[in-house]
Chains A and B, each alone.
Chain A
Amino acid sequence: MATESIPIVRETNKHATMRRAGLIVGVLFGLVQLMAWGTQSTLVLTLGLIINVGLAGGACVLSYKSARHFDRGETGRRVWLLIAFMALADCGVLISFTLPRIIGAVEGVVTLTLLTSALTALSRGVLLPLALWMMVRVYRGIGLGFHLERRDYLPMIAFAGMGVLSLALVGSIARSQLYVDDPGLTRWLRSIGLLLLPALVLSSVFGVMIWRYAKQMGGGLVGKAWQAVLLCNVLWLARFAFLGVLTRWFGIDAAARPVLIEMISFWAVIASECALFWGASFQYEACAGAVNSLEESSAGPSSSEC
């Protein structure tokens, strides 16, 4: 029996190295914060800000570069520009929340904080569902089969539930996150929240559909990219709902938050930004990386990821 052997050369994958570096930096910072037991010193806050903005900024640049690999008018271009905007909005909100705490000027920048929060709500509540819907159309357009399983309805309901809960607790979240306790503002936020409700419910439906599509793709960088983007959004929303519940029903205010809760909140942000960075990096690798066969990619460093 004739036997053919194909030697496989292990190549270093710079995209995988970047992803690992992002993850390691995030984990190391989490450990540093654990060792400091959540002490919000200027150094810890500054380090956290640099890491978070680095991850979100990296995700923004990679998403933008991925978008440029698609032709004008191609859905992929619009989708990845929306993701780039989402990452940019994250950068804005991270800076506007953390920088005033570092320099001790929280009260002076409430308007800026509200503006960046509104941009984040717009990007995650409206633009992301739009991007997911566009991707569903792309998958349908290329004829990829889609089978929603019974177990998929549970995350769909859970995700939609978290969205509804976040909107219901928007006043508490404003008090907890924005350090603002103004009944007029709360009413205004609730009105905006009602408009966001359909988008959040659709987001959960399209999110689970994209997750299912990504699973059905049978691996590959594009599937991994979308799984990471969805993970980012779930973590972000879960943190939002978690802080809202703590403020509303347990009376834990921003100023008197226990150290553990403060750390969980911080880790959720880092994990979310790390997932977004990974998603953008996977898509950029899919668009710009060298052509590799499955054997090569499974022999390479990226095989251990996801």
Chain B
Amino acid sequence: MQLQGINEEPPENFLLKKSVFLLASSVGKATAEKLLDQGIIQLRIDASRLAAGDIPRLALAIEPSLRALVGNEKAQKLASALRVLVGGAIIG
């Protein structure tokens, strides 16, 4: 299976989508979107200017909510994966 056409998206949408994709298999797509939206509001980041550098703070902000749904260990794993796979992929 191949996913194509990701580069057609604007970068900020790409970051958000990638974050949602990472969380969705555990907590569902709508929940992932909601948690990320809340994190963005909490950090007072402009969603349209979301950068790879914001992802670590965003991961930290949503970790408590993730912990309530999937437990401590998995929440930490998901937050780390967000920092590495989403934040790191763009910087690298």
Contacts and interface: CB of A to CB of B under 8 A. Distances in A.
A-B interaction: yes
A294 B70 contact: no
Interface of B: 1-8, 18, 20-22, 24-35, 38, 65, 67-74, 77-78, 81, 85
A216 to B, nearest CB: 6
Contact of B70 (A218, A287, A297, A299): A287
A149 interface: no
Contacts of B27: 217, 220-223, 286
B68 A74 contact: yes
Nearest to B68: A138
A198 to B, nearest CB: 27
Contact of B22 (A7, A69, A217, A293): A293
Contact of A70 (B30, B35, B71): B71
A6 to B, nearest CB: 5
Interface stretch (A27-35, A140-148, A161-169): A140-148
B4 A294 contact: no
Interface string A276-302: 000000000011110111111111000
A222 B22 contact: no
Contacts of A75: 68
Contacts of A297: 24-25
Contacts, number: 134
Interface in A240-290: 286-289
Contacts of B73: 69, 287-288
Interface string A81-101: 000000000000000000000
A202 B32 CA distance: 29
Interface of A: 1-8, 66, 69-71, 74-76, 138, 141-145, 216-223, 286-289, 291-299
Contacts of A1: 7-8
A2 B8 CA distance: 8
A293 B31 contact: no
Closest 5 CB pairs of A and B: A220-B28, A217-B28, A69-B71, A218-B30, A218-B29
B69 A142 contact: yes
A267 to B, nearest CB: 30
B4 A218 contact: no
Contact of A4 (B1, B4, B24, B26): B4
Contact of B29 (A143, A292, A294): A294
6 contacts: A3-B5, A7-B2, A66-B71, A76-B68, A143-B65, A220-B26
B4 A221 contact: no
Given A4-B5, A299-B1, 15 more contacts: A1-B7, A1-B8, A2-B7, A75-B68, A76-B68, A76-B71, A142-B35, A142-B69, A217-B31, A218-B29, A219-B28, A220-B28, A221-B25, A223-B27, A294-B25
